[in-house]
Structure 1
């Protein structure tokens, strides 16, 4: 009985201490990057998924000979912290420029890295797009909404460097997987909202996007379908990211859900999903809102698939094809 009471008393204390640690990390976020959390990698996801799907392979297609790249480009500097990205673009010149796509990796807002979607970015570049894989500050370094600020700065960087790559600044999309999908949908549904912009880097340029590709990213944190915020066995990934539980700061959790920002100005969106339903919480409710405003949308779901499906064959290529077909349609790219 004593142990049970002690455990009950300690649980909120531990969460409070973790929350304070997160805020402490946020305070120094602009000084230096925190040590990386490597709990989610392509390899670790592959090892886990292969137990259930023994025939899968990591997608590593040959790099197209029709593209060129520039890597480790700093797109924004915060104190001594350099946020970097990699750019892939067609060798062929095009006077009006190419549509651009910002790729956002997943990993529970605290793990993962920008290399994970390089294969997808390279293959899409070969189809006539300028593609970028970008860093952003994770929860070990800075709390929400720092990641949103960083990625909007990356979009502004695209416009600021449109002549060099070259980019059609009227046609920019955001593509994200898992936590990256949540970020992509939030970024796209908050076009022009000042509170999500941040204060740094290329502020004279717009961060608005004209299309969203959400690959298994949640659309709502506080929702009957959501699996985020269950702290019964310790703080969840989202709790770390927000620096508070959903019961402590529900308004913050509500704010981060793209479902709650849909307006007539929301750009077209495609949902590409696994069979893990909680990973696309709020999708059907969002579709209803999109239909109310007559906003174009598509949904493609792969039956019997693991959450990190876009990293693996046989799902890599159809994910690429769904992405390209959607963007070609909304951008009239071909």
Structure 2
């Protein structure tokens, strides 16, 4: 029941964020297939249907344009940020690109009581949100348990969203953040050579890209003051990340990935199948080589947003190239990943690669 509830909430969030990006009347017209000026439950996309009862305020069994517009304009509660564990020093909104853009900032978290002597390894979280939503504050839920041990430092980064700049701006930002962290490692007491990156969905795509593109100069960008640093990472935790954009539309999904308004198409600035070169340049599969970072791939077999195949083909490509990787298919899970099996697998992976535990 808890998993089902999570899936519904995820659909609601996805639906609302997608609607806000387009004109409400245009959306209404696209969904109103019989052009009768109202929307039935059957006319709504599957990921919007959980909202039906909430939008149909007069409960007449259909949604009018006025009800549709009122729903999109409703007041929204500010999102809550999870509290930090006790004993953690936060350094917030640090600019990594030497700009005043809040999308080019990171939060750094340092345990006040360190369990290990010497510089700590660091875990860097990159948020999801279809490259058009999301914020760095969402990372503390994943990072908190590791910070509490006193054995890890952590960071969570923002990056420019697709509504502001298209690819490769997102990976340029992520790499600038990694370089900034490496350039400031001694100052803050963490080890630049023991750095994991962890992301979910769009963040999974970006951490996968970091893992395979350490030597790809075309993706490096020229942001920030630390161009003397490289952007290689020690290991990658990829949750549900897209890895080959052109093949996403070939598998069942609640999203038409090939459509011009899909998150992937908005990322590269045009419909995927009409911009294949750009789509391949934005796909981690394009850059896999034998010297890539060790990776754990975790993906729900019933993911309704990013097809499970994206994990499978990435695992196969890494394995063929000789890259150490762990593939964890979560049977029956969707786009939200949680539970003891996931938590324990990620913990063992990070401890092995950052702490040297077997």
TM bin (shorter chain):
0.7 to 0.9
**Offset of residue 88 of structure 1:** 1.5
Structure 2 match to 1:114:
136
Contact 1:189-1:267 within 8 A present in 2 as well = yes
**Does residue 244 of structure 1 match 2:266?**
no
Contact 1:59-1:316 within 8 A present in 2 as well = no
Tell me the alpha carbon deviations over residues 18-49 of structure 1, each in whole angstroms, 9 at most, x when there is no partner.
Answer: 9xxxxxxxxxxxxxxxxxxxxxxxxx99x98x
Contact 2:211-2:293 within 8 A present in 1 as well = yes
Between the aligned partners of 1:194 and 1:60, the Cα distance in structure 2 is: 36
**Offset of residue 308 of structure 1:** 2.9
**Does residue 272 of structure 1 match 2:298?**
yes
TM-score, normalising length: structure 2 = 0.69
Contact 1:264-1:293 within 8 A present in 2 as well = yes
Between the aligned partners of 1:180 and 1:208, the Cα distance in structure 2 is: 17
Distance 1:251 1:134, change over 3 A: same
Counterparts of 1:26-37 in structure 2 under 5 Å? none
Tell me the alpha carbon deviations over residues 156-209 of structure 1, each in whole angstroms, 9 at most, x when there is no partner.
Answer: 111111123211111111111001101110111000211111111111111111
Tell me the alpha carbon deviations over residues 126-164 of structure 1, each in whole angstroms, 9 at most, x when there is no partner.
Answer: 232211111100011100010100010110111111123
The unaligned stretches of length 5 or more in structure 2 are 1-21, 23-46, 52-78
Distance 1:174 1:279, change over 3 A: farther
Contact 1:181-1:217 within 8 A present in 2 as well = yes
Between the aligned partners of 2:322 and 2:273, the Cα distance in structure 1 is: 34
Structure 1 match to 2:309:
281
Structure 1 match to 2:92:
71
**Does residue 196 of structure 1 match 2:219?**
yes
**Offset of residue 294 of structure 1:** 3.0
Q: Which moved more, 1:218-227 or 1:82-91?
A: 218-227
Q: How many residues align?
A: 275
**Does residue 172 of structure 1 match 2:183?**
no
Structure 2 match to 1:263:
289
The unaligned stretches of length 5 or more in structure 1 are 1-17, 19-43, 49-57, 310-314
Counterparts of 1:224-243 in structure 2 under 5 Å? 224-225=250-251, 230-232=257-259, 235-243=261-269
Contact 1:73-1:85 within 8 A present in 2 as well = yes
TM-score, normalising length: structure 1 = 0.74
Tell me the alpha carbon deviations over residues 56-92 of structure 1, each in whole angstroms, 9 at most, x when there is no partner.
Answer: xx998774334322222222234x4242111122223
Please state which structure has a larger fraction of its residues in helix.
2
Query: Alignment partner of 2:274: what SS?
Result: coil
Larger radius of gyration: 2
Between the aligned partners of 2:82 and 2:90, the Cα distance in structure 1 is: 16
Contact 1:106-1:178 within 8 A present in 2 as well = yes
Between the aligned partners of 2:189 and 2:270, the Cα distance in structure 1 is: 42
Counterparts of 1:71-150 in structure 2 under 5 Å? 71-78=92-99, 80-82=100-102, 83-93=104-114, 94-127=116-149, 128-150=151-173
